[in-house]
Amino acid sequence: MGGDGGVIAVKRSYMRGCGTAVGAATGKGSGAGKLRSDAEVKAEAMGRCALSQEELKEGDVRVDPYGRLYSAKAAVEELIRLREAGEASDWVVKGSKDLKELAWSKDLCCYLTNTPLLSGVVPCSVILSGPNKGKCVTASALKEMGSEIVEGETMKLLQNEEEREATDVRLREERERKERKKR
C-alpha cells in the first residue's frame, strides 16, 4: 500500500478521535470503549465546572483567562487550598480578580442573535467590560456587527491550544508591564 501521495498517521494526534475515548484506558465505566466527539466534550464543558465537574448554577459561574467555566464556590475553595498548602500551581488563576463573572443560565444564548450556546458547537465570547459585562456573544455576531457593538473587551470561551498560547503571551506581557510600573 502507499505510493499514492497520501499521509500515513504516524503521530497519535493525526488519528481521528485520539484522546476522546471514555473509559478506554481502564475498560471500566458505562462509557467503556465509546468515543466522544468534540461537540460532546465542548457541550459538557459549557455545563460543568472545570474543577469539580459539578453542574453549573445560574449566578454562580466564573470564567478564567482561558475561557474555562468554574463554579464560584469551587474556584474560591481551590484558591484557598492552594494558599494554605503553599504549593506552586500551574493554574492560570492566581486570585479571585483573575476570574470574571459570567451571566450563565440553563438556556444560555447570545444576547444579540439569541443563538443557543450550551451545545458548545457555536464559538462564543464573554464580554468583560462595559454595560453588557458578563453576557455572551457569538463569534459570527461579533464578525458581522463589528466588535464595537459590544462596547467592551471580549474573551473567547473554551479556547483551543493556539488561543491559550496567545493568552499566555498576553498575560505575561501584562504582568511584566505591572512589574515595570511598580518599580
- pLDDT one-digit tens code per residue, 32-62: 556 777 778 888 888 899 999 999 998 889 9
Tell me what the pLDDT averaged over the chain comes to: 81
More confident residue, 148 or 126: 126
Is residue 180 over pLDDT 50? Answer: yes
Is residue 74 over pLDDT 70? Answer: yes
Task: Please give the model's pTM, rounded to 2 decimal places.
Answer: 0.71
What percent of the chain clears pLDDT 90, i.e. is strictly above it? 18
Q: Using pLDDT thresholds of 50, 70 and 90, give the confidence band for residue 1.
A: low
End-to-end Cα separation, the chain, in angstroms: 65
Residue 6's pLDDT is 65
d(CA 156, CA 19): 23
Per residue in 79-108, pLDDT tens?
A: 898 888 887 777 888 888 889 999 888 888
Picking from 57-61, 92-96, 111-115, 135-139, which range would have the lowest pLDDT averaged per residue?
92-96
Residue 73's pLDDT is 92
Is residue 28 over pLDDT 50? Answer: no
Residue 23's pLDDT is 45
The pair phi, psi for residue 27, each rounded to 5°, is 75, 10
Residue 26's pLDDT is 43
Tell me the average pLDDT across 104-113: 87
Is residue 25 over pLDDT 50? Answer: no
Half-sphere exposure of 156 (CA within 13 A, CB side): 15
Per residue in 160-173, pLDDT tens?
A: 889 989 988 988 89
